[in-house]
Structure 1
Amino acid sequence: MIQSMTGYGKAVLQLPSKKVTIEIKSLNSKNLDLNVRIPSYYKEKELAVRKKLAKTLVRGKVDFSIFVEMTADETSTTINHGVVKEYMQQLRNVVQTGNSSDVELLKMAVKMPDALKTEREELDESEWAEIKKAIDIATKEIVQYRTDEAASLEIDFRQRVANIKTYLKEVKALDGDRIENVKTRLQKAIDDLKVETDENRFEQELIYYLEKLDINEEKVRLANHLDYFLETLDSPDSNGKKLGFIIQEMGREINTTGSKANYAPMQKAVIQMKNELEQIKEQILNVL
């Protein structure tokens, strides 16, 4: 079962003193490009979070964020009273008038360095255990999103492969007419020259020429690649890179068939196959 690399997952956790929101977003990328944004007091857990995301999401441009909103009346930021008083006194000395307002001086003082102090919050392991559960929920959500997104892609892939198989049948049906057309054109070219030819030598040259235009191997290989593509879609793992390699091989066989076709009706069928394959190529870039 394939997965898309596009996804979104979110979980909201209400703790006694704060609201924690976890968000995971992903887009397509050749490899895993992981960007983690978390508060400083959770930094020691960042490596574990990265390992978990890498194991679960595998590939894609992934943005992981933890947002914390304080909901309790308490705050970790307090006014440094001694520093603020000293600033105000120095400001009075600078003004040197009795008209200075303490309110105005206070507004200036609290903007000075070290007027406010923030106590570093230590990591609470029991709190992190709850956050870890929320991360698991958000991760499951993004995996489900990727799976749902890929379901529509898979339907499109199967339809386009079926279309290519239909055009391949058309190519096979036209092959007999193509050979006769080539023989007729060569015979006409000889007749137009109005020269005598050795029939045996002409047949030998014709056989050699037709061998160069033979597309039986291309038809067999393309049919095998189409079946292998569907088998890979049915596999339990999502392997976008493998599907991409199969598509490359399919493209080679279709291109070779087109270069050997030398027959307008067959070339039209080849163009249709190329069109279907290009549509698959565009979408396969988003498969995990």
Structure 2
Amino acid sequence: MSLRSMTGYGQMTCANDRVRVTVEMKTVNHRFAEFHIRVPREWLALEEVSRQELARHVHRGRLDAFLSLEWVGQTADVVVNWKLLDSLIEAEQILLRRFGKDIEAHTVRDWLKFPDVVQVVSPSTALDEIQDVVLQCLREAALKLVDMRIGEGSRLETSFREKLAQLEEQLSLVRRHDGEAIANKHAQLKARLEQLRVEVEPERMAQEVVLLVDRSAVDEEIVRLASHIEAFRDTIAQSGPVGRRLDFIVQEMHREVNTIGAKAADAKIAAAVVEMKVLVEQLREQVQNVE
């Protein structure tokens, strides 16, 4: 399975000789798989099987799906709850007699809008027959959505590889300047001592240089950061949802870059660290949209 983003859209209409089903769905970023499915109230029994079908296609992200059903060649029955309506009108007449003109009487249209007074009863159709059309429509809409997520995922992968290459270039600069830093620190310390006209034994000078280098050495961080870059590449080449793993790797990258910046006193290294921070932050933002 190719790298997928968590952003997508799918729409499909399917029908048989009794019913026409329209499905529209979209997905956005989310830490987990979260499905919100809206179906007509009389077909709420379809919600769970719809969720199971969608879970086969979407493994992470928030999905909003909207299902509408339209009867083909059949009409729904309109049923009036006369008992409820009679009771409501009787209660209103009592109120009118008690309070007179202070209360405005309901019109026929008002009563028709009252909850449960009018009900629309769908034609008698087997749930299994409706379910087959709904699941087919969901499946085809989900495939369109997945195609869009794969396309966006492909663009993300290209961007990832470009940024990883740029990150490696900056890491190479850090590695090269870190090696030069030893000689620079020795020269700076020697120049400072000469300025102060202080004579120091060669052994003592070597110890001081070692201490300075040890406090600012970033070779371990360089190795770990290079390892994280390779792990990132390996992960985006894997199949299945990898977004959470990529998020963890980027956190570790961020940690190593910050440590390099805190330890290194070299100006060239500091400039490279700034560039690496920008690249890692861009990776972090993009990873948030990977399934």
Superposed pair shares fold, TM > 0.5: yes
- Please, which of 163, 178, 185 is the counterpart of residue 160 of structure 1? 163
CA distance in 1, matches of 2:156, 2:149: 11
Residue 212 (structure 1) aligned with residue 191 (structure 2)? no
Deviation, structure 1 residue 111: 6.0
- 2:45 is paired with a residue of what secondary structure? helix
Q: Distance in 1 between matches of 2:277 and 2:87?
A: 79
Structure 1 counterpart of 2:28, one-letter code: L
Task: Map residues 212-231 of structure 1 onto 2, 5 A cutoff.
Answer: 212-231=215-234
- Alpha-carbon distance between aligned partners in 2 of 1:87 and 1:237, rounded to the nearest angstrom: 59
Residue of structure 1 aligned with 2:147, choices 136, 144, 149: 144
User: Is residue 42–residue 123 contact of structure 1 (8 Å, CA) maintained in 2?
Assistant: no
**Given that residues 41 and 122 in structure 1 are in contact (C-alpha distance below 8 angstroms), is that contact kept between their aligned partners in structure 2?**
no
Post-superposition offset of 1:262: 0.9
- Show the 5 A alignment for 1:109-188: 116-119=118-121, 123-188=126-191
Q: Secondary structure at the match of 2:76?
A: coil
- Contact preservation (8 Å) 2:21, 2:70: yes
Indicate if the aligned counterparts of 1:19 and 1:71 stay in contact, CA closer than 8 A.
yes
Distance 2:87 2:269 in 1: 91
- Aligned partners of 2:116, 2:256: CA distance in 1, in Å? 72
Return the offset for 1:125.
1.2
Aligned-pair distance for 1:172?
2.0
In the superposition, the TM-score normalised over structure 1's length comes to: 0.84
Cα deviation, 1:131-165, whole Å, max 9, x if unaligned, reads 21111111111111111111111100000000011
> Where does residue 21 of structure 1 map in the other structure?
22
2:286 equivalent among 260, 264, 283: 283
**Distance in structure 2 (CA, Å) of the matches to 1:252 and 1:26:** 31
Q: 1:106 to 1:250 in 2, by over 3 A?
A: closer
Q: Corresponding residue for 2:102?
A: none
CA contact (8 A) 1:25 1:142 kept: yes
Please, which moves more after superposition, 47-56 or 4-13? 47-56
Unmatched segments (≥5 aa) in structure 1: 95-104
Unaligned runs of 5+ in 2: 97-106
Cα separation, 2, equivalents of 1:113 and 1:152? 50
Residues 116/197 of structure 1: CA separation in 2 closer, same or farther (3 Å cut) = closer
Cα RMSD (Å)? 3.0
Q: For residues 174 and 114 of structure 2, what CA distance do their matches in structure 1 show? A: 81
Letter in 2 for 1:209: L
